Amino acid sequence: MKKNSNSKDFYPYYKNELKGGLIFVEEMSAVSRCPFHVGRGYGLKVDVCTGYFECSECGKSGTVGEFHGLRLGMDDGEVKDPSVADAMKREVLLPCRNDQLGAVRLVWSDGSIIESKSSAVETPGQADGKNQAHDGKCRTLTLSEMLSLELPPREYLLYPILQTQSVSMLHAWRGIGKTHVALGMGVAMGVGGDFLGWNAPKQRKVLYIDGEMSARDLQQRLVSIMKNVPKSLPADDYFRILTPDFQRSGMPDLATREGQAEIDEIIRDAEVIIIDNLSCMCRNGRENESESWVHMQEWVLRHRAQGRSILLVHHSGKNGTQRGTSKREDVLDTVIGLRKPDDYVPSMGACFEVHYEKLRALYGKDADPFRAQLLADEDGGAFWVVNREMGSQDTSEQIVRMLQEGKNQSDIARELGVDKSTVSRHAKKAIAEGRIEKREPVKKPSVVTSIEDVRKTYQSQPVIRKN
């Protein structure tokens, strides 16, 4: 077979579809679990230099073109179309796949499209009859192409805070209860239930990656959660857990390419990935340096492009926002902060206020903060008490009290982590109710701009003579 300079890029492209991932045993040779039969052995051998593949278990073998033909459902890779068969003899390029549009194309070196799965939308370039090869370089869309795309609508995973193809963050100080909340959110999505007033319209496949808790503690929390879930346990693949106690070599480091590859192998068809927590799972680099976030951001965006949603659980910093570089928030759709109430005492246990710090699809009363507290019942289970009015009332009272103390609206907004418009709205209401007086704007002192102004200013001041 003619040596193919592009075949070394072909099989890594299929890395997430090959069972068990693609494991390189030599520089240009790799093994994997064969995708063409049921089995757990690593019988598929791939020469990424020539593109030839062979499975020692099912016997299937052939070129990269035949491999792709099998993946597209062609029986035994046999291609009956003469034009396709002729193209099989030519050099193959990397298949063009856009998971968001649902299109799969095999493009040869002359730019012709060999096979295409059904797609809800035409790929850019097909509408005008021009077949464009995709060689991995950046592509642009015209305005008309962008407007004509029939993109699938985003659905809610957990209404109204989490959507499909989203990246979100939940952060809190140590001991406030962020793992309680993350587990509750994950179980709700796995069974299609409710949590803290958030609703999962249907079941979603969830992968929960826990980086620090012991298996015993994690089990106890899940038992407590499931006692209050009216629905039965989800199917095994709807809520999977990766936890440190069962890993012989420790947990992968998501800040490294190797660690990301290990996680990629177990993700499979998960729709939601919950990482609890970011500090434990990203151990390389410094949290305060934006460069340390680059590799992780690339990994997160890649999975978002493949249709998944990611929830990052993280610690709060000294200023109350998420700890470390603010660059993380650039790609986040939603940021949820858990904060201790002003009247908090340790005997309250897991009690906090839920604040939405960044929202891209949440408006009106749904965006108001609220209070939640975890209480124990007589049977050893636990249940949540949610007070949405209390959260809004507490914020209003805090704003009024701080205005009475003489603080300005900008400082109040910064301290409470709310918008200036929120402070202004509560201030106007308090003025109308007579609780505070309207403060007149302070006039800035006049600025001396000329020699004449200096002379006048000097002459207007009393002369103090020393004896």
Q: Which of 330, 346, 367 is the last residue of a domain?
A: 367
pLDDT score for 231: 74
Query: Do 110 and 249 fall within a single domain?
Result: no
Number of domains in the chain: 2
pLDDT score for 349: 84
Contacts of 415 (CB under 8 A, 6+ apart): 402, 407
pLDDT score for 180: 94
pTM value?
0.60
- The tokens of 179 are what? 């793992």
Contact of 421 with 445, CB cutoff 8 Å: no
Contact of 31 with 44, CB cutoff 8 Å: yes
Domain membership of residue 39 (yes or no) is yes
Angle, CA 63 vertex, CA 57 and CA 68 arms, to 5° = 85
Angle, CA 350 vertex, CA 346 and CA 353 arms, to 5° = 105
Query: Do 102 and 247 fall within a single domain?
Result: no
Query: Do 204 and 113 fall within a single domain?
Result: no
Q: How many CA atoms lie within 13 A of 99 on its CB side?
A: 12
Q: Which of 367, 400, 421 is the last residue of a domain?
A: 367
Query: Do 207 and 88 fall within a single domain?
Result: no
How many residues comprise the chain? Answer: 467
pLDDT score for 317: 87
Domain membership of residue 372 (yes or no) is no
Q: Which residues of the chain have pLDDT under 70?
A: 1-22, 24-28, 39-40, 48-49, 71-137, 361, 380, 390-394, 417-419, 440-467
- Please give the Cα distance from 322 to 114 (Å, whole number): 49
Contact of 366 with 198, CB cutoff 8 Å: no
Which has the closest alpha carbon to 333: 290, 369, 301? 301
Q: How far is CA 122 from CA 64, 102, 143, 146, 248, in A?
A: 25, 10, 15, 11, 47
Give pLDDT tens digits for 286-328: 777 777 788 899 999 999 988 999 999 999 988 888 888 888 8
- Please give the Cα distance from 204 to 191 (Å, whole number): 7
pLDDT score for 266: 94
Query: Do 182 and 221 fall within a single domain?
Result: yes
Strands across the sheet containing 29-33: 19-26, 29-33, 44-47, 53-55, 61-62
Residue numbers of the domain that contains 80: 7-133
Contact of 256 with 282, CB cutoff 8 Å: no
Domain membership of residue 434 (yes or no) is no
What is the number of other CB atoms lying within 10 angstroms of the CB of residue 231?
A: 13
Query: Do 88 and 199 fall within a single domain?
Result: no
Query: Do 96 and 166 fall within a single domain?
Result: no
- The tokens of 56 are what? 């020692």
Domain membership of residue 87 (yes or no) is yes
Give pLDDT tens digits for 377-406: 777 678 899 988 755 556 778 888 888 888
Query: Do 120 and 181 fall within a single domain?
Result: no
Contact of 322 with 329, CB cutoff 8 Å: yes
Domain membership of residue 392 (yes or no) is no
In 3-state terms, the chain is what percent helix, strand and coil (to 5)?
35, 20, 45
Q: Specify the CATH number for the domain of residue 92.
A: 3.90.580
pLDDT score for 157: 96
Domain membership of residue 250 (yes or no) is yes
Contact of 161 with 168, CB cutoff 8 Å: yes
Hunting for tokens 């249940």 — which residue is that?
A: 383
Query: Do 23 and 116 fall within a single domain?
Result: yes
Query: Do 210 and 78 fall within a single domain?
Result: no
Domain membership of residue 242 (yes or no) is yes
Domain membership of residue 410 (yes or no) is no
pLDDT score for 116: 38
- The tokens of 410 are what? 């900008």
Query: Do 172 and 85 fall within a single domain?
Result: no
pLDDT score for 314: 95
- DSSP reduced 3-state for 392: helix
Q: Specify the CATH number for the domain of residue 325.
A: 3.40.50.300
Q: Which of 367, 401, 425 is the last residue of a domain?
A: 367
Query: Do 78 and 161 fall within a single domain?
Result: no
